[in-house]
Structure 1
Amino acid sequence: MGASNSSFLHLFFFLLYFAWATIVDASSFNILDFGGASDGKTDNAKAIKSAWAKACSSQGKNTVLIPKGTYLSGPVLLEGKCNGPITFQLQGLIKAPIDMNSYGWFSFSHVDQLTVTGGGAFDGQGQKAWANNNCDKDPNCKLPISIRFDFVTNSIVQGISSINSKAFHMNVLGCNNLKFISVRISAPENSRNTDGIHIGESTGISVAHSIIGTGDDCISIGPGNNDINIFDVQCGPGHGISIGSLGKYTNEEPVRGVVVQHCSLTGTDNGVRIKSWPDSPKQGIASNLTFDDIIMKNVQNPIIIDQQYCPFGSCNQKKSSLIQISKVKFNNIRGTSASPVAISIICSKTFPCQNVELSEINLKYNGGDSTSSTTTNVKPRVSGQIYPSLPSA
């Protein structure tokens, strides 16, 4: 009888603990309970930060909930380290102030096991910022990035949208094992500097099953990145999917291991692109870069390596890039070009591109005439069908 009672008590306390643990693992902190309001006028920044602080400091898995509705919010910094996995569940629409000078609007910083989800949207309300954008004349210009991920690890961003950002929609810096799945990013073609997702100094970043259309690069991969995977992304409008620009700053780290696969680009200025500045202050490396199974639809420059990249004439084009590009594969890339030159591979005179391979390329000119290609400071290896054919060495 005593043993039976003991077993019963053990079972009772186990079930009690399990129930308590389940509650801890399912705590949700609704911003409406922290003074938030879905009237589209009240600044919800304080409510969002308060809900985050409570969720982050609580044990177990916790959620910050922004329910359906329209919310205005000023700049928000959401920091770790949290006491457990944390979810930012955005079901509604958050709008940024029209006039905002902050470098970042929503910033997630030093968070492990973060999930951003909910089917909602961030609206940067960038129309005024685009009209006043003078970054081509002012190299020190600063426009607010809509969503920043700084030093975020083992995390996922899934099923959310970003629209009309003032500058970059999403910026990834110093992150490790961060996945973007089924995100939608949208801004008009004339919205300058609105890169969809910019990745810098990070490892193990993936973007998959997403739709991105902007006024700049759909995805841009800067210096210091390793193990970057882009899969099943629809890009357009925009400037394409780019590695670079590289070689602008002295302290840049190498880019190694980028795979862009099973993507489509429609009406973009570029398709798949690698770009570096001609007047690099320091030698750099970009290697193990693969572009595979890509469809081009009326793309201005479908395949391009440009080591003379110099927007707005802001560099010395008489110099030669110090970025060594090597081990690059372009495979199974087909569709239509909006210009006669479908393949342009312009490499550095000082460090010619090494081990560039092209296979199964079929790019036709929408204008009706045949397409052509140009290569400089490179001796590509070719296999399978190549159209347009490359110039003979």
Structure 2
Amino acid sequence: MFNNHSLMFLVLHFIVICIAADEFHPPETLSISFASRFHKTNWRSRALSHGDAVTVFNVEMYGAVGDGIYDNTQAFERAWNAACVAPKAVLLVPRKKIFLVNNLVFQGPCSPGFAFQVEGTIAAPKDPAKWNKKDIWLTFQQLQSFQINGSGTINADGSAWWEGCREEIHTDFVSCKFSQRPVAVHFGNCSRVTVTGLTITNSPNFHLTFNDCEAVKIRALIIFSPEYSPNTDGIDIGTSKHFDVRHCIVSTGDDCMALGNGSSHILIKNLTCGPGHGISIGSLGKFNSSAMVSTIHIDGARMTGTQNGVRIKTWQGGSGMVKDIQFKNVEMINVNNPIIIDQYYCADTPNLCRNQTSAVQINGVTFINITGTSASQVAVKFACSDTIACGGILMKDISLKLSSGGQASSFCENAHGITRGDIFPPSCLKN
């Protein structure tokens, strides 16, 4: 029997598939019209159409059994190795079947234009003791001109990994029985990659991560884990550039999206987020490290019931810079911290966090058309370093009210910038 949460998940999945069939032209606002977005094009047929004739490598032809019980790790390896070297190849995971696999590394380089088509379900072992590795479940590395798409599901089945986890209220500090919990899907050293249409769910740790990647398109993903699942970030990007992320729905126990050190030229459009911790740049500068993040543009997002809305977080003692950041056209619905810059971030126990004089510099951050409701009194919070203040902040057309009614407020510490248009709550920036 479906509960309300299950029904909403299915509806959201239907919406994303409809959007994915529409060439990904983003609307000006986040509202979605079923009539205007739905096309008769069959998503599976469309995803398998690559223009010229292709060779389909069905994993079942290499010994895979989709009963949810049989271990298909070696069968998937055989199928990948055969398809990887073939011209115009599609590796197919057929629909309506569940294929259990253990930790896998999908190694490139492969022939240009190689596609991994997931229509069924790829599932991880339920028992953590049966995992072969404890860091990453599915790894894709050294791939160029590669796409992974389909209407299927990648289910990391992480519930057993979450046992004994405890999160401090309104912080990012989590202690768990398993100190090392694996990432579900990781891309490393890849370029010209497209990820489209999939559902990724129940990761033991982060769901989808990228490092040392370039020219990546992400379209119409659903990423879903329970609100109580610890550190289950949706999409994390680090040491990577030139990403285009559109029409994704993320509901997890941590950041919906996180942009880490080395991220640059990232465009995010029409993201639906909640529950979770919102969109975060950082954390940066931990252990006195240097960080550089630049040219991150978020245009169109809806945050519902999240711990944070749009956030930049840095540790004391770091160095480097965050610059050219834009948050635009974001709707907040009962969000705890709708707008927040925190240069005093500390996810460890309080006695390990000490005051330091150096900090990652934050300069050139724009907030445009941020509207909705705040669950906390302070809807706008800029807590910046005593020695390296935040500068170049622009706020334009801000309207944030308390969810409970009444007036919200702003808090500024060492934050400098200007405002344009109507600003509510009133700005506390220093000119």
| TM-score for the superposition, normalised by structure 2 | 0.82
Structure 1 residues 392 and 262, CA gap change in structure 2 (3 angstroms): closer
Maintained 8 Å contact 2:117/2:148: yes
Amino acid at match of 1:125: D
Which residue of the other structure, out of 91, 105, 108, is the alignment partner of 1:77? 105
Which residue of the other structure, out of 390, 394, 401, is the alignment partner of 1:353? 390
- 1:140 is displaced (CA, Å) by 10
Q: Which residue of 2 aligns with 1:244?
A: 282
Amino acid at match of 2:102: G
Amino acid at match of 1:221: L
Maintained 8 Å contact 1:326/1:355: yes
Residues 270-289 of structure 1: matches in 2 within 5 Å?
270-280=308-318, 283-289=319-325
- Does residue 76 of structure 2 align to residue 35 of structure 1? no
Q: Which residue of 2 aligns with 1:299?
A: 335
Structure 1 residues 249 and 177, CA gap change in structure 2 (3 angstroms): farther
| TM-score for the superposition, normalised by structure 1 | 0.90
Maintained 8 Å contact 1:308/1:321: no
Amino acid at match of 2:63: G
- 1:130 is displaced (CA, Å) by 1.1
User: Higher mean Cα deviation, 311-320 or 351-360?
Assistant: 311-320
Maintained 8 Å contact 1:56/1:84: no
Which residue of the other structure, out of 227, 231, 247, is the alignment partner of 1:193? 231
Q: Which residue of 1 aligns with 2:182?
A: 144
Q: Deviations over 1:124-176 (max 9, x none)?
A: 11111111447835899321111001111101000000111110000111000
Q: Which residue of 2 aligns with 1:97?
A: 125
- Output the CA distance in 2 between the equivalents of 1:246 and 1:208: 25
Amino acid at match of 2:57: F
Maintained 8 Å contact 1:279/1:317: no
- What secondary structure does 2:286 align onto? coil
Which residue of the other structure, out of 418, 422, 426, is the alignment partner of 1:381? 418
Maintained 8 Å contact 1:162/1:185: yes
- Output the CA distance in 2 between the equivalents of 1:171 and 1:53: 23
Structure 1 residues 306 and 181, CA gap change in structure 2 (3 angstroms): same
- Output the CA distance in 2 between the equivalents of 1:200 and 1:260: 16
Amino acid at match of 2:78: S
Amino acid at match of 1:361: I
Structure 1 residues 260 and 93, CA gap change in structure 2 (3 angstroms): same
- Output the CA distance in 1 between the equivalents of 2:406 and 2:331: 20
Structure 1 residues 200 and 37, CA gap change in structure 2 (3 angstroms): same
- 1:321 is displaced (CA, Å) by 4.8
User: Higher mean Cα deviation, 129-138 or 49-58?
Assistant: 129-138
- Output the CA distance in 2 between the equivalents of 1:368 and 1:211: 28
- What secondary structure does 1:257 align onto? strand
Unpaired runs of at least 5, structure 2: 1-49, 167-172
Structure 1 residues 24 and 208, CA gap change in structure 2 (3 angstroms): closer
- 1:25 is displaced (CA, Å) by 5.0
- 1:226 is displaced (CA, Å) by 0.9
Q: Identity, % of aligned pairs?
A: 36
Q: Determine which structure has more spread, i.e. the larger CA radius of gyration.
A: 1
Amino acid at match of 1:209: H
Maintained 8 Å contact 1:308/1:317: no
Q: CA RMSD in A?
A: 1.9
Equivalenced residue count is 369
Residues 172-191 of structure 1: matches in 2 within 5 Å?
172-191=210-229
Q: Which residue of 1 aligns with 2:302?
A: 264
Maintained 8 Å contact 2:288/2:316: no
Amino acid at match of 1:288: D
Q: Deviations over 1:336-358 (max 9, x none)?
A: 00111100011111211110110
- 1:94 is displaced (CA, Å) by 1.2
- Output the CA distance in 1 between the equivalents of 2:290 and 2:216: 21
Amino acid at match of 2:420: S
User: Higher mean Cα deviation, 61-70 or 138-147?
Assistant: 138-147
- What secondary structure does 2:80 align onto? helix
User: Higher mean Cα deviation, 182-191 or 344-353?
Assistant: 344-353
Structure 1 residues 321 and 308, CA gap change in structure 2 (3 angstroms): farther
- Output the CA distance in 2 between the equivalents of 1:312 and 1:253: 19
- Output the CA distance in 2 between the equivalents of 1:24 and 1:288: 41
- What secondary structure does 2:363 align onto? strand
- What secondary structure does 1:107 align onto? strand
Unpaired runs of at least 5, structure 1: 1-21
Maintained 8 Å contact 1:274/1:306: yes
- 1:252 is displaced (CA, Å) by 4.1
